Amino acid sequence: MLNSTCCTCPHLERKNVVFVTVYSVVFIFGLTLNVTALVIFFRNSKSQSHTTTYMVHLAFADVLLVCMLPVRIYFHMESGDLPQKLCDFTGLIMLSNMYGSILLLTCISFDRCIAVCFPLSSRVREGRKKAWCMCLGIWILTIGTSLPIYFKKEQNNSTTEQTNVTCFGNFPSYATQTAALISTLIIGFGIPLTVMIISSWGLVRAISKSTAVQTSDLVDSGKIKRMIITNLAIFLFCFLPYHVMLVLLYAYKTTQTRCSLLTPYQYSLMVACLNAMLDPLAYYFTTETFQRKKMGVETTTVRKIWQTNSHSSDGNNRSRAPLTM
């Protein structure tokens, strides 16, 4: 287990300025965009799709995450000491909602994929109606795994010298334990990443082979593919560095190396928080919920094209996929 001895990081003033600036931007824009998304979703609650259910929970998770950032901003401004209990609580809330966001993003990607690739399957339609069950399971999983970590940290802090406790300046000792790291890499990142890659590939393949897309001048298939690829790229950009740093912290045991890796680890966590600000831009505003008023005619026309192609086929051609998700 990594100890909690603190390191004196070089270029502390510059590091603090960067953290304060980035966290402030994420807090302001992340809170504004996600609250706006929630308002729009609830106003259009009668016309919500199954994918929108995941997006509502994703927006709520992102709101909870960004609401924890003011504590980090205060810490990096060196405005004074903070209670370690407050630091531990806000840190675990942020991490639990980060993994909640990862799992919800995975569900969104998978839901879109099966909706497009298997539009005529009754089993798929019935399965998609269970979106609220998946969201409930994700909340139970993330909260259930966070609470034991919090109480264990409380016990460790009560038996550790207070000079070794510096709020967010400690090493992620629990996250770099073997069992916790393996479960995090597999369940929290590896499986979601695999599902997102397969789902993105399935979506791109379905759109490329869709007769409705290829024969319609109303739909820009290239734009849709770029949106899918951009979503996957944002996912990798935000979450891959953080998990790579966890592996490096686990692999290198010497105190000097740990000290040199602490600053990159903190930067990787900062980058992961950017996802709360990018989610609304990458997902919400590319869905039918946000485009209905300005693209109502286009959406209706595309749906008719799809229905015409579907009824004219033998019912087994799954490549003619609808564009509304």
What is the secondary structure of 17-32 as a DSSP string?
Answer: HHHHHHHHHHHHHHHH
Q: Is the pLDDT of residue 217 over 90?
A: no
What is the pLDDT averaged over residues 100-127? 84
pLDDT at site 27? 96
Stronger pLDDT, 172 or 192, i.e. the higher one: 192
Instruction: Identify the pLDDT of residue 180.
Output: 83
Q: Does any domain span residue 184? A: yes
290 pLDDT higher than 50: no
Asked whether residue 220 is assigned to any structural domain, the reply reads yes
For the ranges 4-13, 25-34, 121-130, which has the lowest average pLDDT? 4-13
Residue 244 in domain: yes
Range with the lowest mean pLDDT among 39-43, 55-59, 267-271, 304-308?
Answer: 304-308
147's tokens: 């609470």
Domain CATH for 157:
1.20.1070.10
Q: Give the up-direction half-sphere exposure of residue 27: CA atoms within 13 A in the CB hemisphere.
A: 15
Domain boundaries, position 80: 12-294
Q: Average pLDDT of 74-96?
A: 83
C-alpha angle 239/241/242, rounded to 5°? 70
pLDDT digits (tens, 9 = 90+) for 119-128: 777 777 777 7
Residue 322 falls within a domain, yes or no? no
pLDDT above 50 (res 105): yes
Least confident of 81-85, 127-131, 165-169, 195-199: 165-169
Assigned domain for 61 exists: yes
- The DSSP string of 91-153 is HHHHHHHHHHHHHHHHHHHHHHHHHHH-TT-HHHHHHHTTHHHHHHHHHHHHHHHHHHHHHHH
Dihedral angle sign, alpha carbons of residues 204, 208, 210, 214: positive
Q: Please state the domain count of the chain.
A: 1
Residue 102 has pLDDT above 90, yes or no: yes
Considering just the CA atoms, what is the radius of gyration of the chain in Å? Answer: 22
pLDDT at 283: 67
Q: Is 319 part of any domain?
A: no
226-281 pLDDT, tens digit per residue, is 888 888 999 999 999 999 999 998 888 776 777 788 888 999 999 999 999 998 87
- Averaged pLDDT for residues 94-100: 91
Residue 278 lies in a domain: yes
Q: What pLDDT, on a 0 to 100 scale, did the predictor assign at position 9? A: 46
Most confident of 43-47, 90-94, 214-218, 251-255: 90-94
- Any domain includes 313: no
- 304 pLDDT higher than 70: no
Which of 155-169, 174-188, 233-247 is predicted least confidently?
155-169
* pLDDT tens figures, 50-62: 778 888 999 999 9
Q: 3 falls in which pLDDT band (50, 70, 90)? A: very low
Evaluate if pTM is beyond 0.75: yes
pLDDT(86) > 60: yes
Following CA atoms 186, 134, 58, 208 in sequence, which dihedral angle do they give, to the nearest 10 degrees? 80
**Confidence at residue 213, expressed as pLDDT on a 0 to 100 scale:** 56
